[in-house]
Structure 1
Amino acid sequence: MTTKAEQAQETRQLVDMSWDPITRIIGNLGIYTKIDFENREVVECRSTSSLFRGYSVFMKGKDPRDAHFITSRICGICGDNHAVCSIYAQNMAYGIKPPPLADWIINLGEAAEYMFDHTLFQDNLVFVDYCEQMVKETNPSMLRRAETTEAPRGHLHGYRTIADIMRAFNPFTGAMYKEALQVSRLTREMCCLMEGRHVHPSTLYPGGVGTVATPQVFTDYLVRLVRALDFVKRAVPMNDDVFDFFYQALPGYEEVGRRRVLLGCWGAFQDPNVCDYDYRHMDEWGRAMFVTPGIVVDGELITTNLVDINLGIRILLGSSYYDDWQNEEKFVTHDPLGNPVDQRHPWNQTTLPKPQKRDLQGGNYSWVMSPRWHDRRTGDHLALDTGGGPLARLWTTALAGLVDAGGVRATGHSVEINLPKSGSMPEMRLEWHVPKWANTIERNRARMYFVAYAAALAFHFVDEALNDVRAGRTKVFTDFDVPDEAIGCGFHEAVRGVLSHHMVIRNGKIANYHPYPPTPWNASPRDVYGTPGPYEDAVQGLPIFEENGPENFKGIDIMRTVRSFDPCLPCGVHMYVGGGKVLRQVHSPTLGTSVTG
């Protein structure tokens, strides 16, 4: 028996449309939709991944001390985030605490990485979707209105109208587009000063760093940080002006990419005065992070406890190309506090790949598994998303109200960011407020605010590092031995969201290792309970505001929504609309091989 909803869908005129690839690294993300153009709605969405990486398979048997060098190669964009997270897991497994200066140096490197990556992504990739050229092609009537709409914050950024801002982000020609590339170079240099190189660090190790801590290296970092501030102070109000305009010009636009508020943040920037990397104290040092870990459900911060966050992680299947490991060996039965560890936890996962044909009609269709967080209050397996990284980070930090350092302060409902005087601009106070929605606009808006947040904290980290150097506390490494048997977990924030590494050591070698970056959380397919992943959930039900008809439809709001989660750098967007030419390859002994329609 079919339901009324299914009967209604059957009577609709649905058009299959797909964008594959649409990922931002290596072309393995596909978005497959069914669209009702008559009612201007995306009815259904499937998120697919065509690539199997296999790090959890070939890490077995390796020397644990190589883990951060190997796992940094998971990504060519945020490899340093993986290296840092792996080092955190190793510090725990080896039972070591690095010297405080080492943690300040890592914090400085990661602050620069956030500034680098978010600036490049926001201004050179995301804003292409909001620039004059794109709006002209998809919503020309909106562009006409933008030409006559004064920019409310023009006195801060220097652009008179909303259309002027849109032109500034035109690719290759726009002033802000080009300036963002220069700022990305500055911030990448800052990262290299602390971590040796970008994107695969050469000076980060378990136990500390190999960076030579001199006043000069921190001064070189600080000079670049101050130079980047002018751009940040203009970029934030420019973002606000454009995003506020979209809400005003397109009533109902808040529904684009909107999903239930289910946000996860694993925390970032350790406080070496509190953090000892001991699992038994993880709640304490987790809450001392300069970005507060936490889980937000329907607007409520339900925990900031990293132990609870860790124990709640579940890796589900359902629509993925893997066999279940329910009957495989259980590596960890209890955590160091005596809490039971679930079979579906990363410590106990066994990766059993099962290649097969893609089946979008109720079958398996992705190499991504379905990470979920088990809410013990309700028994639900929540499809948390990261808000593209910044939205979840700012949201959890704001609600927790724990951070008050380095020019940033969490108020319980907002985050205040105070930036010092820079080259051509005075001191500036910014405030990010917890929004009404977790949607496309707010994911993108939070990104540039977090650049400002990272910049403000970077000044604090420089001060702390220089204080150590001036006091003669220049040690940056603690020696260690690899134990025969141990477990460790690292929690960090990759640029685009939650990042965890779970490691099991036996006989001095890696017996099990599972890195979980944000994209598996965001790009996960439907799980065993039928729950869609965040991309799928955010796209299906999306209202269509684009003015083009089915024949010229670009799917701009679908693209904006998926990109708002920051799925990594683009290698191209392809679109399939159903009818096309069938190519036939013909081989002639005299003419060779040719392709005909």
Structure 2
Amino acid sequence: MTQTDPAKKSGKSKSDLMEMSWDPITRIVGSLGIYTKIDWEARRVVECYSTSSIFRGYSIFMKGKDPRDAHFITSRICGICGDNHATCSVYSQNMAYGVRPPRLGEWIINLGEAAEYMFDHNIYQENLVGVDYCEKMVRETNPGVLELAERTEAPNAAEHGYRTIADIMRALNPLEGEFYREALQVSRQTREMFCLMEGRHVHPSTLYPGGVGTVATVQLFTDYLTRLMRYVEFMKRCVPMHDDLFDFIYEALPGYEEVGRRRIMLGCWGSLNDPEHCDFRYENMNDWGRRMFVTPGIVVDGQLVTTNLVDINLGIRILLGSSYYEDWEGQETFVDRDPLGNPVDRRHPWNQHTIPKPAKRDFDDKYSWVMSPRWFDGSEHLALDTGGGPIARLWTTALAGLVDMGNVRSTGHSVEINLPKSATMGERTLEWKIPKWSNAIERNRARTYFQAYCAAAALHFVDKALAEVRGGNTRTWEPFDVPNDSVGCGFTEAVRGVLSHHMVVQGGKIANYHPYPPTPWNASVRDSFGTPGPYEDAVQNTPIFEENSPENFKGIDIMRAVRSFDPCLPCGVHMYAGDGFELEKTHTPHAFDSQT
């Protein structure tokens, strides 16, 4: 953290208004910077800028590649959620090639992705975000809250085993805390589950357009299931424990709902396809999209605007605003109309050109390499956020009321999750209810519930996969031909939220390719209309509850707001070295060379 002079052009004293920055943000890949101006008299953040200091270049070096290599290349966008990129790329390729994988292949992909959600959300929630609420952190920033936590009985102590809220906080202490260490063991098991399905984590080795190369046997799914049931038991303790902790924060710090709060503008592209309905044809995308086991949708001010993936696709706009790029006005348009004949905007990813223009950071002009994706509703370019993924997924799924797997059901106002009897605990029914706010606490709470959602969904997928194997339907891959000219778009949810891959094939090669992960949406900067991105918006107006003085300020409330989005900058920034250069080898005679 760095601290500079008081905000320029202000009439306030240094003790009242200060510029403070955190660059890089810790506990994530270090390319994200948060720059703020804080009004100490009002104890509130009045201004925020989100920055990323490295250039993104995947959309440039994908051009001219064989489209069949797209998932192997784009998997390397990130060393954390690479499988989400590979999966999304495969979905885009399936559409472009007109291929429908066998059902078993899709069930295997679902099992792999469910394991990835469980793995990543678990390790982030308990070993990274959890530190923000652990005993050591609270002692340093809010000792009065810790004192109250010592005296507060945990309502669900019988479920999770911690008598007081302070005991929960101690269990989250890094390296020493009991729950912190247990979560590390759980993350290992969930990573093994993923590798059983897709061969390697985090860059799958058995995932291809047309299906998977995984050899499907009863033993394979049994090995997955034994690990899954250990995770189910873990979640029966994890959900009530987090409910106790987050509910206590609200009680201990009245007004804490304002930390990280922003207008409810949530986007979810849906995930976990139903192979009974998904044929990957663009013409049928609205239908099979609504059959996903996580429902796609856009929620604005609590209302479900759409669940139509065609509308979602056509509404995406890439604005530049405060990012270091030149506009592509006047450049080639790749796609005038989608396969249904709908007009495609010049600012849609199918038509995007990436033209870098580095400049000195200037918060009144250009200040980041992250662009500003927006969703156009016909009148307004909405700065949608994903809330770190789970809150948007649960919110859209709950409102749509389309999911019913038996053990997971969306009701129109909530999501019900039934976890079966496990080794030492009986059946448990959990219910995530739509909250009043989209804020830091509720983003974190949703992450815990979505882990339970994935566990229950995975039980359903295992049953379906075993039924295919026992029925003799063991084929996992469908052959295909690459058309000379085609377009494709893949929609899924990366761990942190919306993920889409947009591909244009011309002459059998990639002519244009743009992956849009959650980071450009969440970490986007002020766009060409002056609208701040979600990180910026969530931090602006966040109140300061930390008890420390400005001289010892750690910024815990600001960090909780940012980290509630599960920021991960690899998907927002990448290095591009231009056209490269030629190396010339010269030979220097060695002492042992023969002499002439």
Task: Give the secondary-structure state (helix, strand or coil) at the position aligned to 1:537.
Answer: helix
Match of 1:252 among 251, 255, 259: 255
Letter of the 2:388 counterpart: G
Amino acid at match of 1:369: M
Aligned counterparts, 1:95-174, within 5 A? 95-174=98-177
CA distance in 1, matches of 2:442, 2:324: 33
Contact 1:47–1:525 (8 Å) recurs in 2: yes
Q: Is the 8 A contact 1:406 1:457 kept in 2?
A: no
Contact 1:23 1:569 in 2 (8 A): no
Residue 422 of structure 1: CA displacement?
1.1
Contact conserved, 1:100 with 1:272, CA < 8 A, in 2? yes
Describe how 1:237-276 pairs up with structure 2 within 5 A. Answer: 237-276=240-279
Partner of 1:367: 369
Deviation sequence 1:144-193 (CA, Å, 0-9, x none): 00000000111110110000000000000100000000000000000000
2:64 pairs with 1:61: yes
Q: Is the 8 A contact 1:239 1:445 kept in 2?
A: yes
Aligned match of 1:337: 340
Aligned counterpart, 1:17: 20
In the alignment, is the contact (CA less than 8 A) between 1:24 and 1:569 conserved in 2? Answer: no
Q: Please state if 1:196 is matched with 2:199.
A: yes
Say whether the 8 Å CA contact 1:484–1:506 is kept in structure 2.
yes
Pick one of 225, 229, 235 that aligns with 1:226.
229
* 2-structure distance, mates of 1:553, 1:122: 24
Q: Report if aligned partners of 2:519, 2:569 keep a CA contact under 8 Å in 1.
A: no
Taking structure 1 as reference, are residues 505 and 67 closer, same or farther at Cα in structure 2, changes over 3 Å only?
A: same
| Partner residue, 2:521 | 521
- Which residue identity is paired with 2:507? N
CA contact (8 A) 1:23 1:568 kept: no
Alpha carbons of structure 1 residues 23 and 7: separation in structure 2 relative to 1, 3 Å: closer
Q: 1:318 aligns with which of 316, 321, 329?
A: 321
SS at match of 2:174: coil
CA-to-aligned-CA distance 1:182-220 (integer Å, 9 cap, x gap): 000000000000010000000000000000000010000
Per-residue deviation, 1:568: 3.0
Instruction: State the shift of 1:406 in Å.
Output: 4.5
Contact 1:208 1:478 in 2 (8 A): yes
How far, CA to CA, are the matches of 2:11 and 2:242 in structure 1? Answer: 41
Q: Hey, what's the Cα distance between the residues in 2 that align with 1:569 and 1:241? A: 31
Give the aligned residue type for 2:375.
W
Task: Look up the equivalent residue of 1:117 and give its one-letter code.
Answer: D
Q: Give the match's secondary structure for 1:142.
A: helix
Match of 2:550?
550
TM normalised by structure 2 equals: 0.93
Match of 2:589 in 1: none
- Give how far 1:92 is off: 0.1
Q: Deviations over 1:293-340 (max 9, x none)?
A: 000000000100000000000000110000001211110000000000
Q: Which residue of 2 aligns with 1:566?
A: 566
Classify 1:138/1:7 alpha carbon distance in 2 versus 1 (closer, same or farther; 3 Å). Answer: closer
Cα deviation digits, residues 529-582 of structure 1 (max 9, x gap) = 000000000001110000001000000011011000001399xxxxxxxxxxxx
Separation (CA, whole Å) in 2 of partners of 1:51 and 1:101: 40
Question: Is contact 1:523-1:535 (8 Å) kept?
Answer: yes
Counterpart of 2:336 in 1: which secondary structure? coil
SS at match of 1:366: coil
Give the whole-Å Cα distance in 2 for the aligned partners of 1:300 and 1:541: 24
User: Any conservation in 1 of the 2:498–2:517 contact (CA below 8 Å)?
Assistant: yes
- Is 1:441 the counterpart of 2:444? The answer is no
2: CA distance, partners of 1:79 / 1:181 = 20
- C-alpha contact (below 8 Å) 2:31/2:569 kept by paired residues: no
- 2:59·2:515 contact (CA, 8 Å) conserved in 1? yes
Corresponding position of 1:450:
450
Separation of aligned partners in 1, 2:549 and 2:377: 43
**Matched residue, 1:403:** 403
Q: d(CA) in 2 for partners of 1:158 and 1:27? A: 36
Query: What is the one-letter code of the residue matched to 2:324?
Result: Y
Counterpart of 1:174, as a letter, is G
* 1:73-129 CA distance string (max 9 Å, x none): 001100000000000000000001000000000000000000000000000000100
Q: Letter of the 1:234 partner, please give it.
A: R
What aligned pairs does 1:574-593 form with structure 2 within 5 A after superposition? none
Alpha-carbon distance change, 10 to 323 in structure 1, aligned in 2, over 3 angstroms: farther
User: 2: CA distance between counterparts of 1:549 and 1:380?
Assistant: 41
What residue is the counterpart of 1:176 in the other structure?
A: 179
1:212 aligns with 2:215: yes
CA distance in 2 between counterparts of 1:356 and 1:268 reads: 38
- Once residues 275 and 20 of structure 1 are traced to their aligned partners in structure 2, the CA distance between those partners, rounded to angstroms, is 43
Percentage of pairs with the same residue: 75
Q: CA deviation at 1:8?
A: 11
Please list the CA deviations of residues 6-59 of structure 1 after superposition, one character each: whole Å capped at 9, or x if unmatched: 999644742010000116553110000001111101110000000113000000
Counterpart Cα distance in 2 of 1:121 and 1:363: 34
Cα distance in 1 for residues equivalent to 2:157 and 2:371: 45
1:7–1:49 CA distance, 2 compared to 1 (3 A): closer
Going from structure 1 to structure 2, the CA distance change for 1:25 and 1:67 (only over 3 Å counts) comes to: farther
Trace 1:476-555 onto structure 2 (pairs within 5 A): 476-555=476-555
Mapped partners of 2:552, 2:396: distance in 1: 40
Letter of the 1:371 partner, please give it: P
Q: Is the 8 A contact 1:186 1:224 kept in 2?
A: yes
| C-alpha separation in 2, matches of 1:478 and 1:221 | 24
Name the SS of the counterpart of 1:384 in structure 2: coil
Alpha-carbon distance in 1 for matches of 2:120, 2:20: 30
8 Å CA contact 1:282–1:307 kept in 2: the answer is yes
The whole-number CA distance in structure 2 between the counterparts of 1:100 and 1:23 is 42
Unaligned runs of 5+ in 1: 1-5, 571-597
* Further displaced range: 523-532 or 20-29: 20-29
Deviations along 1:361-407, whole A, 9 cap, x unmatched? x110000000000011xx10000000110000000000000000041
> Is the partner of 1:356 in helix, strand or coil?
coil
Instruction: Classify the secondary structure of the residue corresponding to 1:308.
Output: helix
2:579 is matched with none
2:370 partner letter:
V
Q: Match for 1:411: what amino acid?
A: T
CA distance in 2, matches of 1:123, 1:315: 34
Residue of structure 2 equivalent to 1:78: 81
Range 383-392 or range 419-428, more displaced: 419-428
Number of the residue aligned with 1:305: 308
Distance 1:347 1:49 in 2: 24
Q: Secondary structure at the match of 1:394?
A: helix
Shift of 1:424: 1.1
SS in 2 for 1:301: strand
- Kindly indicate whether the alpha-carbon contact (under 8 Å) linking 1:129 and 1:556 is maintained by their aligned counterparts in 2: yes
